[in-house]
Structures are given as C-alpha cells and as structure tokens.
C-alpha cells in the first residue's frame, strides 16, 4: 500500500528544514526520537503509521518540522530508481494472468537489491534516524539503527486470516491471490533482512514492543504507539543537545 501523497510533500519539507538546521548548528539541535516499524504483510502498517505521524506531529514537542514516514517508496525515490511497477497496469484479478506467481511477482515489483543499493538505503535510514522525528518502515531499519540510542523499535503482527482479509480488500484480490501475496511478501522481507543483515525479523528481542493489530482500530493503535514512544523518550531523560551515536 503506497504512502499518501501528502507525506511525500511533508518529506521534502522535512528534509529541507532538518538538513538546513543541522548544517547551521553543526549538529542536531535537540534530542529527537525515531521509530522503526517492522511488520507482517497485511498488518495495516501504512495507515497506522500515517495516523501515528500525524499524532506525533501534534503531540511531540520536538517535532518542529513534523513527523515523516520513510518506506520502500522513498528508498527508491532517493536512490533515483523506479523499480516498482504501477499496480494499475496489472490485471485486477489473478485469473487474468498466466499464473498466480507471475501476477504476484509483478504486483510486488520483486527484484534483487544489490549491495550498492542496500548500502545507500542503509545510509539514508541512519541519516534520517539521526535527524529524528522519522518513522522508518521496513528495510531492516530496526537492525540498521540498533546502536542508535534515540531509536524505538516496534513490530506489527496479526492473525493470518485478518491480514488476508485486509489484503483482499485493499488490493482487490481473490483469496488465492491474496494468500500468495501475503506469503510471498513475508518471505521477501525475511529474505532481505537475512541476506543483507544476517538477522531474523521474527526475533522478539529485536523490538521494544510487538503489537497485534487485530480488533484494534488504526486510530487507537496510533495513539497507543505514540504515547508509548513519548513515555519511553521521557523516561530516558537525555541531556540537552545530546548527540546520537552515528557512524
């Protein structure tokens, strides 16, 4: 599910403001937290994180530039590549394709990310994490920022049946195609992290919190995560102007 257009505009404004501030000050002017979000396919990460970014933009006193989202869409935009096909160019139902696997592969825009792109993506993730007020979705961001003391890591999960129903609704797929999409997406994400970071996305010790999204509204989840994060930041009581470890 793509990020709303307004977050692309907010991202551009955020980068201009944050980078100008850092260049002017020579370092970040305040301790700003960052959230990383790992998720199972169909766990509603994008709508939840959009609401979370809006909530933190209103409630977090350090968010002078607002909170932004960063996911695969922005990764490819900043890398100057456009490898994800437009979903509108593909048939709306898997039966129209020669095989479900062909359809799902096209829908996902599956490709082998080389080491150069991974290094560039990782550098971007660490830069945004250092600047703060960023929600970093996927791409192994919790592992890439594990040594940064301003990063709070969560994972969104859910029952397969609930996630399957969400994928069917949002992508207009029948049950068979949606199930293939779900399994292939989860497998692709696990493989990406294993290949590039030698980590396991299902390791519970890699997260501050693992949250099941079943039977809880997006709005409530956004507030829950936002309040948990802000309480975590407040409990750390960082010194004014504290620098975040960054290499």
Q: Which of 77-86, 94-103, 177-186 has the highest mean pLDDT?
A: 177-186
Q: How many CA atoms lie within 13 A of 185 on its CB side?
A: 24
Q: Helix 5-25 to helix 45-59 angle, to the nearest 10 degrees?
A: 50
Side-chain-side CA neighbours of residue 143 (13 Å): 19
- Local confidence band at 151 (pLDDT 50, 70, 90 cut-offs): very high
Helix axes 100-108, 175-197, angle to 10 degrees: 50
Tens-digit pLDDT profile for residues 111-124: 444 678 888 889 88
Evaluate if residue 212 carries a pLDDT over 80.
Answer: yes
Strands (E), 46-188: 68-70, 134-137, 151-157
pTM, rounded to two decimals: 0.76
Confidence check: pLDDT of 23 > 80? no
Residues 6 or more apart in contact with residue 240 via CB below 8 angstroms: 30, 31
**pLDDT: is 151 or 110 the higher one?**
151
Beta bridge partners of 189: none
Q: What is the mean pLDDT of the chain?
A: 79
Adjacency order of strands within the sheet including 151-157: 68-70, 134-137, 34-39, 151-157, 209-212
Give pLDDT, residue 13.
66
What are the pLDDT digits (tens) for 51-91? 999 999 999 888 877 898 888 776 656 655 443 333 343 33
3-state SS class at 144? helix
Question: From CA 26, how far away is CA 19, in angstroms rounded?
Answer: 10
Q: Which two tokens stand for residue 49?
A: 């994180």
| Both structure tokens of 27 | 């370092």
Band of the pLDDT at 32, cuts 50, 70, 90?
confident
d(C-alpha 52, C-alpha 137), whole Å = 12
């Amino acid at each position: 599910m793509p990020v709303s257009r307004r977050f692309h505009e907010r991202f551009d404004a955020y980068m201009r403001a944050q980078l100008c501030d850092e260049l002017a000050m020579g370092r970040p002017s305040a301790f700003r937290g960052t959230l990383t979000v790992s998720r199972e396919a169909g766990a509603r990460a994008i709508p939840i994180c959009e609401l979370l970014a809006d909530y933190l933009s209103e409630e977090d006193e350090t968010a002078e530039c607002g909170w932004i989202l960063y996911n695969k869409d922005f990764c490819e935009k900043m890398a100057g590549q456009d490898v994800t096909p437009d979903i509108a160019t593909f048939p709306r139902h898997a039966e129209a394709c020669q095989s479900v696997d062909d359809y799902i592969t096209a829908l996902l825009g599956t490709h082998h990310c080389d080491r150069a792109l991974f290094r560039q993506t990782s550098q971007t993730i660490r830069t945004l994490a250092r600047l703060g007020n960023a929600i970093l979705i996927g791409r192994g961001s919790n592992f890439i920022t594990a040594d940064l003391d301003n990063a709070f890591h969560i994972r969104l999960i859910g029952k397969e049946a609930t996630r399957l129903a969400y994928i069917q609704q949002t992508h207009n797929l029948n049950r068979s195609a949606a199930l293939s999409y779900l399994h292939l997406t989860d497998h692709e994400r696990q493989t990406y992290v294993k290949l590039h970071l030698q980590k396991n996305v299902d390791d519970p010790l890699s997260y501050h919190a693992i949250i099941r999204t079943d039977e809880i509204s997006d709005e409530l989840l956004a507030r829950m995560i936002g309040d948990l994060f802000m309480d975590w930041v407040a409990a750390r009581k960082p010194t004014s102007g504290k620098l975040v470890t960054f290499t």
